[in-house]
Amino acid sequence: MTSESAIMEGGCGCGVVRYRVTGAPQWASHCHCRDCRHATGAPYVTYVGLLAPQVAWRGQAPVRYPSSPGVTRSFCGKCGTPLTYEGDRWPGELHILAATLDDPGLITPQAHVYVGQKLPWVQLSDGLPRFRTLPREGPALTE
């Protein structure tokens, strides 16, 4: 993905909310769950998993919204760009939407998760492992 000393920057569409990531991500994955699709309006979302202290916010702080029990999402209060996901299942982690990075090409996704909720017209042919839910909840799908 990126080196331990990497610095990545990103932010919202209007530039009011900015962030800086220091150090290598813990992981990067494409999520196909219904909640993420609804929160972003996209058929699936690519997240970068980071430890919360790796992220420093600049400009305006993102607006935080408790989107479902145990889940907080953030977005720009001015332009509405979705920025992050935080879940009680991942204490101490902050998941940033990879497309909000200034250079999303720095990220290499490692898997598709929640493929059990994938839209039927999304075709996956990238060769990445696919999981019905999460890797820790079962083996990769072979179909």
pLDDT per residue as tens digits for the range 49-62: 999 999 999 999 99
- For the stretch 71-126, pLDDT in tens is 999 999 999 999 999 999 999 999 999 999 999 999 999 999 999 999 999 999 99
How far is 108 from 34, CA to CA, in rounded Å? 23
N-term to C-term CA, the chain: 26
* Domain interval for residue 85: 7-121+128-135
pLDDT of residue 13: 97
Give the position of tokens 């902050």. 94
pTM of the entire predicted model: 0.92
Does residue 142 lie in a domain region?
no
Instruction: Round the CA-based radius of gyration of the chain to a whole number and report it.
Output: 15
The answer to whether residue 110 sits within a structural domain is yes
Q: List the one residue out of 107, 86, 97, 126 whose CA is nearest residue 3.
A: 107
Cβ–Cβ < 8 Å for 14, 77: no
pLDDT at 4: 59
Decide if 118 contacts 134 (C-beta within 8 A): no
Name the β-bridge partners of 130: 112
Is 76 within a domain?
yes
pLDDT for position 142: 81
32 found inside a domain? yes
Residue 99 lies in a domain: yes
pLDDT per position as a tens digit, 114-142: 999 999 999 999 999 999 999 888 888 98
- For residue 17, is it within any domain? yes
Domains of the chain: total: 1
Q: What is the arithmetic mean of pLDDT over 15-26?
A: 97
d(CA 93, CA 112): 19
Distance from C-alpha of 64 to C-alpha of 138, rounded to nearest angstrom: 31
User: Residue 39: what pLDDT?
Assistant: 93
In a domain, 85, yes or no: yes
CATH of the domain at 48: 3.90.1590.10
Task: Give yes or no for residue 25 having a pLDDT over 70.
Answer: yes
Identify whether 2 is part of a domain. Answer: no
Cβ atoms of 37 and 82 within 8 Å: the answer is no
Would you state the pLDDT for residue 130? Answer: 97
3-state secondary structure 72-97: EEEECCCCCCEEEEEECCCCCEEEEE
Return the percentage of the chain with pLDDT > 70, whole number.
96
